[in-house]
Amino acid sequence: MYQAAPDPYCYPDSDVLKNKADLRSAETLETFETAMTFARAEEPLPAGRLSARHYRAIHHHLFQDVYDWAGRYRTVRLTKGASTFCYPENIAGEMTRVFTWLKQHDFLRGVTAEQFPPRAAHVLAEINAIHPFREGNGRTQLTFLALLADRAGHPLNLDRLDPDATLDAMIKSFRGDEQPLVTVVAQLIEN
């Protein structure tokens, strides 16, 4: 569970995020959120140039049926376990930094299948450390990774994704070891 205090995103005296369906149970909200984001993921993604703005549009697309703040950067400090994510006042600048780097590297187009995983994993690790949204960061990261890979000519097979290994790799990347995340990305590339 994420910790954010004070948290205007949650119902009073609750850790349940305020949502469009006004669901007050964490379990019910999780079921609703999963159904809504799965349905939106089946639709075409918003057009864009793989920019920070495009990244926000992807989050909005996926979560627009669930949260009023879909696609907007969070305004509270956020931790998960021992990890403290980017302070909200720094999110916009850090996202600009990451997406400027990505643009300077031509969105990883022209890199080989061997070069793509470490570069994509680095971008993913950076975005994860920023954790720009109050909820839905992982799903947005995965959706963006698939789009980035496709546009770079290295489409992914997400059926190969091992959620536990991916979570472990994300945690390790937060602590500075990106190699497990490189391995995860490499295993997803279609051969």
Residue 40 pLDDT: 97
Yes or no: say if 156 and 145 are a contact pair by the CB < 8 Å rule.
Answer: yes
Residue 143 pLDDT: 97
- Mean pLDDT across the chain: 95
Residue 3 pLDDT: 53
Yes or no: say if 79 and 68 are a contact pair by the CB < 8 Å rule.
Answer: no
- Collect all residues with Cβ–Cβ distance below 8 Å to 22 and sequence separation of at least 6: none
Instruction: Please give the C-alpha separations between residue 138 and each of 91, 129, 135, 170, in angstroms, as whole numbers.
Output: 16, 11, 8, 9
Residue 17, φ and ψ in degrees, nearest 5 = -70, 135
Please, which pLDDT band fits residue 6 given cuts at 50, 70 and 90?
low
Instruction: Please give the C-alpha separations between residue 56 and each of 51, 100, 180, 186, in angstroms, as whole numbers.
Output: 9, 15, 26, 25
Instruction: Please give the C-alpha separations between residue 175 and each of 4, 140, 169, 171, in angstroms, as whole numbers.
Output: 20, 21, 10, 7
Handedness of CA 30, 186, 97, 77 (dihedral sign): positive
Residue 129 pLDDT: 97
Residue 4 confidence (pLDDT) above 70 = no
Would you identify the CATH topology of the domain 26-188? Fic-like fold (1.10.3290)
Residue 39 confidence (pLDDT) above 70 = yes
Residue 81 pLDDT: 84
Give the pLDDT confidence of 27-38 residue by residue, as tens digits: 999 999 999 999
Take residue 50 and report the two structure tokens written for it: 């793989």
Report the share of the chain in percent with pLDDT over 90.
Answer: 93
Give the pLDDT confidence of 80-135 residue by residue, as tens digits: 888 899 999 999 999 999 999 999 999 999 999 999 999 999 999 999 999 999 99
Residue 98 pLDDT: 98
Residue 63 confidence (pLDDT) above 90 = yes
pTM: 0.94
Largest CA-CA distance found in the chain, in angstroms, rounded: 51
- Domain range list for the chain: 26-188
With b meaning 16 or more CB within 10 Å and e meaning fewer, what string describes 29-59?
A: beebbeebbeebeeeebeeeebbbebbbbbb
- Collect all residues with Cβ–Cβ distance below 8 Å to 114 and sequence separation of at least 6: none
